[in-house]
A = this chain, B = another copy of it.
Amino acid sequence: MSKIYGIIKERRKTLGLTQKVVSEKLSIPQSHFSKIESGLSDTRMSTIVDICRVLELEMTLVPNNKIRVVRALMEDSYARMDKPAWVPDEEA
């Protein structure tokens, strides 16, 4: 579970957001967000989903035999990319 919080922290930093900014978007105190991000609060699912929304992440559940593939897919991928992975050809 610490991986989840690690992802949140990494992503937040990658997006260049401070805890203060994120907490404002979530309308919660910075102190509360700090505890969530560090795993010191066993927070609700809905709170994590809200955090994901702010950080442009989506939560999912992966079968154990696929997790390594999924992780490899996402290596260095918490950086925001404004372009989709696939760009359609332009039609003349």
- Which B residue's beta carbon lies closest to that of A6? B61
- Does A18 sit within 8 A of B, measured CB to CB? no
- Does A26 sit within 8 A of B, measured CB to CB? no
Q: How far is the CB of A15 from chain B (nearest CB, A)?
A: 10
Within 8 A of B (CB), among A37-92: 42-46, 48-49, 52, 56-71, 73-74, 77-81, 83-85
Asked if A42 and B42 sit within 8 Å, CB to CB, the answer is no
In the bound complex, CA of A59 to CA of B43 (Å) = 15
In the bound complex, CA of A65 to CA of B88 (Å) = 15
Interface of A toward B, CB cutoff 8 Å: 1, 3-4, 7-8, 11, 42-46, 48-49, 52, 56-71, 73-74, 77-81, 83-85
